[in-house]
């Protein structure tokens, strides 16, 4: 099938883009890498009278290390993130999650902003943003605002962005060492969206005790989630790899709204999710303790 007809706009600056979005209202949709939007248009699961392409906006791509943060512009491709030495050294969790996204052809076109704005609950980047307490930058004709990741993902494929708002970038805090990071996921075929996945970030104090801990879950609800009860229980304890299975169980305990479909029941997903948390925990702790 082919998409329904649409008018194509390719503005040169972000301000012009948001003015167009405000003028065209819900008839307009932003297109970045097109890796999620184009299949939806081609299958006619969605149609819009106007597509506003971000590919000519010079100010949106780029990766910048600023003091204790790394800012990544929204239209930075996933392949650029994957190749970035800054990301590899300052944001190991993001670096390790990126090769798990689809296939290299998708990462060559797909953008970090597109992945965050699309907000697929089984996607890696939303879970990484939530785990690292990233902040998302939005622009509209009303001005700029910053949205914490914890408030950005509001439901299945929905975010806190207004219809006329553009995601311009994402700012990740850089954790101080000693710390460790891991992402684990299970997908039936390489390149598929994960059936269930987990991200772990763990930081140690001068005595080697856990003083910072974040456990993210994806594919396990309408949005990416944090296992706050498990995190709280771990703060102040000594990191141990042999706790991993218990932490996995605790992270999934009482989790509601876990999807159940032809790929797997909710109960199966929860068991896979607990195993992914346990695996990620072992690797993150090993890195935090041994470097």
Ligand X SMILES: Cc1cc2nc3c(=O)[nH]c(=O)nc-3n(C[C@H](O)[C@H](O)[C@H](O)COP(=O)(O)OP(=O)(O)OC[C@H]3O[C@@H](n4cnc5c(N)ncnc54)[C@H](O)[C@@H]3O)c2cc1C
- Regarding 48 and contact with ligand X (CB under 6 A), the answer is no
Closer to ligand X by CB, 4 or 235: give it.
4
x-or-dash pattern for ligand X, window 226-255, by CB under 6 A? ------------------------------
Do strands 166-173 and 179-186 pair parallel, antiparallel, or not at all (unpaired)? Answer: unpaired
- Regarding 131 and contact with ligand X (CB under 6 A), the answer is no
Smallest distance, ligand X to C-beta of residue 104, A = 11
Distance CA 165, CA 55 (A): 17
- Regarding 166 and contact with ligand X (CB under 6 A), the answer is yes
- Regarding 24 and contact with ligand X (CB under 6 A), the answer is no
233 vs 24, 60, 230, 236, 251, CA distance in Å? 49, 40, 5, 8, 10
Collapse the DSSP code of 136 into the 3-class scheme (helix H, G, I; strand E, B; otherwise coil) and give the result: strand
Closer to ligand X by CB, 195 or 244: give it.
195
The answer to whether the CB of 29 falls within 8 A of the CB of 21 is no
The answer to whether the CB of 270 falls within 8 A of the CB of 242 is no
> Of 14, 20, 24, 33, which one interacts with ligand X (CB under 6 A)?
33
Element (H, E) at 34: none
200 vs 120, 154, 213, 214, CA distance in Å? 19, 22, 8, 6
Smallest distance, ligand X to C-beta of residue 110, A = 2
Smallest distance, ligand X to C-beta of residue 243, A = 29
- Select the span of 160-168, 171-179, 195-203, 208-216 touching ligand X (CB under 6 A): 160-168
Closer to ligand X by CB, 175 or 218: give it.
218
> Of 36, 84, 98, 131, which one interacts with ligand X (CB under 6 A)?
36
- Regarding 282 and contact with ligand X (CB under 6 A), the answer is no
- Regarding 269 and contact with ligand X (CB under 6 A), the answer is no
The answer to whether the CB of 165 falls within 8 A of the CB of 111 is no
Which residue stretches of 102-236 are H helix? 104-109, 112-118, 124-131, 149-152, 228-234
User: Binding residues for ligand X, per CB under 6 A?
Assistant: 29-37, 39, 54, 74, 101-102, 106, 109-111, 113-115, 117-118, 123-125, 161, 166-167, 191, 193
């Amino acid at each position: 099938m082919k998409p329904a007809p649409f008018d194509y706009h390719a503005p040169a600056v972000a301000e012009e883009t948001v003015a167009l979005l405000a003028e065209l209202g819900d008839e307009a949709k932003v297109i970045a890498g097109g890796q999620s939007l184009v299949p939806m248009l081609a299958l006619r699961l969605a149609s819009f009278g106007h597509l506003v392409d971000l590919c000519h906006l010079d100010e949106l791509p780029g990766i910048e290390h600023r003091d204790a943060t790394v800012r990544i512009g929204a239209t930075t491709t996933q392949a650029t993130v994957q190749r970035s030495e800054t990301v590899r050294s300052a944001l190991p969790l993001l670096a390790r999650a990126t090769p798990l996204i689809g296939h290299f052809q998708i990462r060559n076109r797909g953008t970090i902003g597109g992945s965050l704005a699309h907000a697929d609950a089984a996607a890696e980047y939303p879970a990484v943003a939530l785990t690292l307490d990233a902040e998302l930058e939005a622009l509209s004709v009303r001005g700029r605002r910053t949205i914490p990741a914890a408030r950005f993902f509001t439901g299945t494929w929905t975010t806190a962005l207004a219809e006329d708002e553009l995601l311009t970038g994402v700012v990740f805090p850089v954790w101080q060492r000693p710390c460790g990071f891991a992402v684990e996921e299970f997908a039936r075929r390489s390149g598929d969206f994960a059936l269930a996945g987990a991200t772990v970030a763990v930081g140690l104090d001068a005595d080697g005790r856990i003083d910072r801990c974040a456990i993210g879950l994806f594919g396990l609800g309408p949005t990416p989630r944090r296992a706050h009860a498990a995190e709280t229980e771990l703060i102040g304890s000594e990191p141990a790899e042999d706790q991993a299975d218990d932490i996995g169980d605790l992270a999934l305990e009482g989790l509601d709204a876990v999807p159940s479909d032809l790929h797997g029941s909710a109960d199966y997903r929860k068991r896979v999710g607990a195993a992914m948390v346990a695996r990620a925990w072992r690797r993150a702790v090993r890195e935090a303790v041994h470097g």
